[in-house]
Amino acid sequence: KAKSPATKKPSAATEVKSNLDVTVDEFQQSIVRHLHVSLGTDENKANSKAWWTATCAAVNELVFERATQTQKTHYKKDTRAVHYLSLEFLMGRLLKNNLTNVGLTEIAQQALDKLGLDFHKICEEEPDLALGNGGLGRLAACYVDSLATLDFPAIGYGIHYEHGLFTQAFLEGRQVERPDSWREYGNPWEICRPESVQEIPLYGYVETKYDDKGQIHKEWHPGRIIKGVPWDIPVVGYGAKTVNILRLWESRASDFFNWDVFNAGGYLDAQVENVQAETISKVLYPNDNTDAGKELRLIQQYFFCACSIKDIVRRYKRAHGDDWSKFAEQVVMQLNDTHPAIAIPEMMRILVDRAELKWDQAWTICQKVFAYTNHTLLPEALEKWSVRLFEKVLPRHLEIIYEINSRFLEDVVEVAFPGDDSVKRKLSIIEEGHEKMVRMGNLSVIGSFKVNGVAEIHSKLVKKDLFPEFNSLWPDKFTNVTNGVTPRRWLKSCNPKLSNLISEHVDADWPVHLNKLSKLADLATDSKFQKAYMQIKLENKIELAKVIKELTGVEVDPTALFDIQIKRLHEYKRQQLNLIHIMALYRRLLQNPDYDMPKRVFIFGAKAAPGYYMAKEIIYAINKVADKVNNDERIKDKLKIVFLPNYRVSLAEKMIPAADVSEQISLAGKEASGTGNMKLALNGAVTIGTLDGANIEIAEEAGEDNVVIFGLTVDEVKELKSAGYNPWDYYYANNEIKAVLDWFDCDYFTPGKPGELAEIKRSLLDYGDTYLSLADFASYSEAHKKIDKLFQDEKTWAKMAIMNTATMGKFNSDRSILDYVQNIWNLDTCDIK
Ligand code: GLS
C-alpha cells in the first residue's frame, strides 16, 4: 500500500551510499579550513561567493583523490578507453551535481546550516559552465556523467573557452548579448596541468623530400606554433567510485616562437602574436545547427583535436613505446558531430609523417579508431571548408585528405559503382564547384568504423536521405543510438521532492536503474499517490512562479497550466507556431470571454544565435505579444506569456520540474532527437509533439494516451513539399490564421510602430513558410484543445503525468552509453578500489 509521502521528510536513506565517509562536522571544518587557507579570508569577511568557493574546495578534496586513484588504476590495468572529442560540453553547475553523485548533499546542507548559511543560496553563486550551445553540448555532459557512473575508462576532450555561450538579456523585448565570464577570477573545479602542455603547428608550407631509397617524405614547415594548455575538470560518477576527467585545452602563444621575434627586436610584434594565439580558445561560436564557416572555427577544431591526439599518443606510448600494433585495441575516439573530423587526417599525419608507418598500415589503424555521431540533417549545419582555406591553415592535412579521397574513389567507389561519375561526385570528400570544398561529413563516414544517428527515425533518415550510397557500400557501418539524459541531474538533483516520493515507492537505486520507475505505473491511478505527486508539481510551480516574478516582474498563478517550450530559438523548432497559436487563443478570449479553457501560462526559454535575424525577430514578437496580453484586463488573467531571459542549464533545472506541458513541435524530419523532451517527460510533463526525433520513442514508451501527437509525418511532409506547398492556401482557407497573421501588420502589439512584427508574417507567407507552420496549425490547435480538456480532468491528468515519469526509463543516458559500449566502443568496466 502506498505510504503517505508528503508527510515524510527527505532523509539520507534516499541518498546514494557514498564510500566517502565524512561527517557533518568534518565537512564543516573542511569548508572553514578552505576559507582560511585556500581563500585567505575568514568567516567574518567571507561573502556568499567565498563560501561557495570554499564548499567546492571541500568537495574537491574528496573528489580529486578519487580522480588520481581512477587514473592510476586505468594506467595500471592498461585499459581500453573511449575519448569523447567534442567542441562543446554544456556542464552547467557542478556543486549540487557533484554532491548528489558523492552522496553528500545532506551532509553539506547540514554543514552549511551549522555555519548559518543557506545551501540553496550558496549554490546560486555558481556560474554555469556554459561551454556549449544546446542539445549537442548537453548530451556530451550527460554522457561523461554516465561513463563515470558506469565505471568505464573515458576522457572528454574539448576547448577551455574563456567565454562560454553569451548571456542573454532583453532590451525592450529584443535580445542583446553580453560575454559570459565563467572564470574571470578562476573556477574551483578546474586544475591546470602544465606538465601536459602540447605544441600545435599551423599555416606554413609542405616540403617534399626524397630519401636515399627514393622514397617520398613530406615535411610540414608550420608558420605558427600554438601552445595547448590542459585544464582538467573532474567528472564524478554516481556513487563516487570512478572520477574521470574532462580535459579542456586553452591556447597560448608558444614561448619558443615568440622568443625568436622578441630577440629580433620585435617585442610588440611578439605581443600581437600572443593575442592571436590566445584568440583560439577565447570564445565559443554561438551557433546551434548551423555552420559558422570561419577560419578561426577551423583552427579551433584542429587545435583541440591535435592537442588531444598528442595527449592520447603520449599516454599510449608510456605503456607501449613505439609498438603501434596495439593502438586500435586501446583507443577509440568518438567524434561528436563532424566538428572534430579533422582528427582523422591528423591521426594519419602522426602515423605516416611522424611514426613513419606505411600509408595502408596507418589507414587500417585509423579506421579502427574513429566512430562518428551525426546530430543533424539540416543542410545549413553540414560542415564544408573551402580548399583554399584548408591549404592556407592546414596544408599537409589537405594533401592527406586528397590521398584518402583518391584511394577511396579508386578502391571502393569505382569497384562498387564502376563508371558511375555521378556517384563519385556525390561521395567524394571534395565537392567540385566554382569554389572547391572539403566535405567533413563524407570524411567522417569514410574515416570511421561506425556512424550513428541519435534517434531511431533520425538514424533511418541518415541512411536513406543523407548517406544512401555510403549505406549501400557499408550497410553495417550505420547504426542508431537513441540519446539519453542523466537522471542524476535531471530528476534526482533538480527535483528533490519528486525524487524522495519516488524513493519511497521504488528501490533507492532507481537513479542508476531508471527502468525501476516503471513500478510507479501501478500507482498512476492510486488517488493518494496522485495527490502526493500533484502536490509536488504544484510546489515546484510555486517555486518557478517566484523565479518568473523575479526575472520578468510578471505574476502567474501556480494553479494555471504551465506550458513550456525551452530549446534554442530556431525556425525548424517552430516557436513561431507556438506564438501564432497563443495569439489565436488570445483572440478567442477577446471574442468570447467565456471561451472554455483552463488558465494557461506559456513559458519560453531560448537563445538565438546573434547573427540569426529571423530567430531574433521571433523573440521580439513573443515579448511584444506577451507585454500586450499580460496587461490586458479583458481576458482576466486567463492567459499569460513569459519569456525567461538567459535560458541555460541552471534555469532549465528550475523550469523542468514545474512543467505541465512540454512543447516538442519541430517539423517532422528536422529535430534529430531532442533531449529536453526526455527531461520534461521524466519530470511528469505531458508532451504535445510531432512525430519527430525521439518524440516517437517517447510516445511509444509512454503510450498514446499519455502524449498528445499532432501534425504531418515525415512522409507527409515530403509529399506536401513535392506537390508544391503554398502557405497562402492555408491563409485564405482558415479565418483564424488569416486574422492572426494580419495582426502583425498593424501596431496592436507595438503601439505607434505599425508593421514592426511584419517579418514574422512575411516569413510564413512571402518567404514560403519553410517549416510548414501553417500546414500544421489546425492540427496543433486541436491538440491544444485536447490538452485543455485533459488538464481540467484532474485525475486523468495526474495519471498521465505519473505515467510519463514511470515510462521514461529508456531515456537514461546510462542506457545510451551501454548501447555505445556494446555496438561501437567495446569497452570493459574498470573497478576503482
Ligand atoms: C542536435 C540536434 O539538433 C538535437 O535534436 C539532438 O538532440 C542533439 C543531440 O544529439 O544534437 N544537433 C545539433 O547540432 N544541435 C543539437 O542540439
Q: Cα dist. 28→59, 115, 116, 212 in Å?
A: 11, 8, 11, 70
- Counting from 1 in the atom list of ligand 1, the atom nearest the Cα of 138 is 9
Q: Cα(390)–Cα(13) distance, rounded to whole angstroms?
A: 57
Q: Write out pLDDT tens, residues 541-559.
A: 999 999 999 999 999 999 9
Q: How far, in Å, is the centroid of ligand 1 from the Cα of 289?
A: 7
Q: Classify residue 543: in a domain, yes or no.
A: yes
- For residues 308, 314, 320, 326, the Cα torsion angle rounded to the nearest 10 degrees is 20
Answer yes or no: do 211 and 63 share one domain.
Answer: no
Strands 129-131 and 154-159, by their bridges, are unpaired
State the Cα angle at 435 between 432 and 436, rounded to 5°. 45
DSSP SS3 for 332? strand
Answer yes or no: do 492 and 445 share one domain.
Answer: no
Strands 450-453 and 478-480, by their bridges, are parallel
Q: Cα dist. 184→60, 130, 194, 737, 808 in Å?
A: 20, 14, 20, 49, 39
Answer yes or no: do 325 and 431 share one domain.
Answer: yes
Are the C-beta atoms of 656 and 673 separated by less than 8 Å? no
Q: Classify residue 727: in a domain, yes or no.
A: no
Which one of 458, 477, 616, 679 is the catalytic residue? 679
Q: Cα(484)–Cα(377) distance, rounded to whole angstroms?
A: 19
Answer yes or no: do 348 and 248 share one domain.
Answer: yes
Q: Classify residue 742: in a domain, yes or no.
A: no
Given CA atoms 471, 473, 476, 478 in this order, what sign does their dihedral have? Answer: negative
Please give the model's pTM, rounded to 2 decimal places: 0.97
Query: What DSSP designation does 223 have?
Result: S
595 pLDDT more than 90: yes
Q: Write out pLDDT tens, residues 362-407.
A: 999 999 999 999 999 999 999 999 999 999 999 999 999 999 999 9
Q: How far, in Å, is the centroid of ligand 1 from the Cα of 672?
A: 6
Answer yes or no: do 83 and 10 share one domain.
Answer: no
Are the C-beta atoms of 366 and 343 separated by less than 8 Å? no
Please choose, from the candidates 703, 761, 752, the residue with its C-alpha nearest in 3D space to the C-alpha of residue 727. Answer: 761
Q: Write out pLDDT tens, residues 675-689.
A: 999 999 999 999 999
Strands (DSSP E) along 670-747, which ranges?
A: 686-689, 708-709
Cell 573556477 locates to 187
Q: How far, in Å, is the centroid of ligand 1 from the Cα of 813?
A: 15
Q: Write out pLDDT tens, residues 105-119.
A: 999 999 999 999 999
Q: Classify residue 597: in a domain, yes or no.
A: yes
The stretch 509-533 carries a mean pLDDT of 98
Ligand 1 near 675 CB (within 6 A): yes
Answer yes or no: do 629 and 572 share one domain.
Answer: yes
Answer yes or no: do 177 and 242 share one domain.
Answer: yes
Strands 216-221 and 205-210, by their bridges, are antiparallel
The two most distant CA atoms of the chain are separated, in Å, by 93
Ligand 1 near 334 CB (within 6 A): no
The stretch 573-580 carries a mean pLDDT of 99
Q: Classify residue 401: in a domain, yes or no.
A: yes
Q: Is 375 labeled as catalytic in the residue annotation?
A: yes
Q: Is 567 labeled as catalytic in the residue annotation?
A: yes
Answer yes or no: do 183 and 72 share one domain.
Answer: no
Please choose, from the candidates 127, 128, 140, the residue with its C-alpha nearest in 3D space to the C-alpha of residue 88. Answer: 140
Answer yes or no: do 600 and 626 share one domain.
Answer: yes
Residue type, 810: K
* Number of domains composing the chain: 3
DSSP SS3 for 321? coil
Strand-by-strand arrangement of the 661-664 sheet:
639-643, 600-605, 561-566, 661-664, 686-689, 708-709
Residue type, 320: H
Q: Write out pLDDT tens, residues 166-219.
A: 999 999 999 999 999 999 999 999 999 999 999 999 999 999 999 899 899 999
Contacts of 20 (CB under 8 A, 6+ apart): 62, 102, 103, 104, 240
Q: Cα(625)–Cα(323) distance, rounded to whole angstroms?
A: 66
DSSP SS3 for 828? coil
Q: Is 160 labeled as catalytic in the residue annotation?
A: no
Answer yes or no: do 108 and 162 share one domain.
Answer: no
Phi, psi of 600 (to 5 degrees): -130, 140
Answer yes or no: do 463 and 597 share one domain.
Answer: no
From 291, 673, 695, 771, the mutation candidate for ligand 1 (largest count of ligand atoms within 8 A of CB) is: 673
Ligand 1 near 381 CB (within 6 A): yes
Ligand 1 near 661 CB (within 6 A): no
Q: Write out pLDDT tens, residues 720-746.
A: 999 999 999 999 999 999 999 999 999
- Counting from 1 in the atom list of ligand 1, the atom nearest the Cα of 483 is 10
pLDDT band at 477 (very low <50, low <70, confident <90, very high): very high
CB atoms within 10 A of CB 32: 18
Phi, psi of 156 (to 5 degrees): -95, 135
Q: How far, in Å, is the centroid of ligand 1 from the Cα of 135?
A: 5
From 133, 136, 566, the mutation candidate for ligand 1 (largest count of ligand atoms within 8 A of CB) is: 136
DSSP SS3 for 664? strand
The whole-number pLDDT of residue 138 equals: 98
Q: Cα dist. 111→22, 123, 281, 620, 727 in Å?
A: 11, 14, 38, 45, 61
Ligand 1 near 289 CB (within 6 A): yes
Answer yes or no: do 478 and 550 share one domain.
Answer: no
Q: Cα dist. 726→175, 315, 319, 765, 774 in Å?
A: 31, 59, 64, 8, 10
The whole-number pLDDT of residue 472 equals: 98
**Residue range(s) defining the domain that contains residue 265:** 78-93+128-483+818-825
Q: Classify residue 739: in a domain, yes or no.
A: no
Query: What DSSP designation does 485 have?
Result: B
228 pLDDT more than 70: yes
Q: Cα(142)–Cα(486) distance, rounded to whole angstroms?
A: 5
Tell me, what CATH number does 336's domain have?
A: 3.40.50.2000
Q: Classify residue 749: in a domain, yes or no.
A: no
Ligand 1 near 382 CB (within 6 A): no
Strands (DSSP E) along 420-474, which ranges?
A: 430-431, 437-439, 450-453
The whole-number pLDDT of residue 270 equals: 76
Phi, psi of 225 (to 5 degrees): -125, 130
Q: Write out pLDDT tens, residues 601-646.
A: 999 999 999 999 999 999 999 999 999 999 999 998 999 999 999 9
- Counting from 1 in the atom list of ligand 1, the atom nearest the Cα of 458 is 5
Q: Write out pLDDT tens, residues 276-325.
A: 899 999 999 999 999 999 999 999 999 999 999 999 999 999 999 999 99
Q: Cα(136)–Cα(119) distance, rounded to whole angstroms?
A: 31
Ligand 1 near 87 CB (within 6 A): no
Q: How many residues does the structure list for the chain?
A: 833
Contacts of 612 (CB under 8 A, 6+ apart): 287, 290, 569, 570
CB atoms within 10 A of CB 258: 21
Are the C-beta atoms of 55 and 129 separated by less than 8 Å? no
Q: How far, in Å, is the centroid of ligand 1 from the Cα of 288?
A: 8
- Counting from 1 in the atom list of ligand 1, the atom nearest the Cα of 289 is 14
Q: Cα dist. 393→79, 235, 250, 294, 351 in Å?
A: 35, 34, 19, 12, 20
The whole-number pLDDT of residue 282 equals: 98
What ipTM describes this predicted complex?
Answer: 0.99
**Burial (Cβ within 10 Å: 0-12, 13-18, ≥19) of residue 137:** buried
The whole-number pLDDT of residue 3 equals: 37
The whole-number pLDDT of residue 4 equals: 39
Contacts of 553 (CB under 8 A, 6+ apart): none
CB atoms within 10 A of CB 788: 16
Ligand 1 near 672 CB (within 6 A): yes
Q: Cα dist. 678→243, 494, 573, 704, 767 in Å?
A: 26, 14, 16, 16, 33
The whole-number pLDDT of residue 376 equals: 98
What grid cell was written down for 616?
A: 531574433
465 pLDDT more than 70: yes
Which one of 96, 227, 570, 573 is the catalytic residue? 573
Q: Is 636 labeled as catalytic in the residue annotation?
A: no
Q: Is 568 labeled as catalytic in the residue annotation?
A: yes
H or E segment and range at residue 797: helix 794-806
Contacts of 767 (CB under 8 A, 6+ apart): none
Q: Cα dist. 269→225, 563, 589, 796 in Å?
A: 15, 56, 67, 71
7 pLDDT more than 50: no
What grid cell was written down for 149?
A: 557512473
Ligand 1 near 135 CB (within 6 A): yes
Q: Classify residue 676: in a domain, yes or no.
A: yes
9 pLDDT more than 60: no
Strands (DSSP E) along 86-240, which ranges?
A: 89-92, 129-131, 154-159, 167-171, 174-178, 191-192, 198-202, 205-210, 216-221, 224-236
pLDDT band at 262 (very low <50, low <70, confident <90, very high): low
The whole-number pLDDT of residue 264 equals: 73
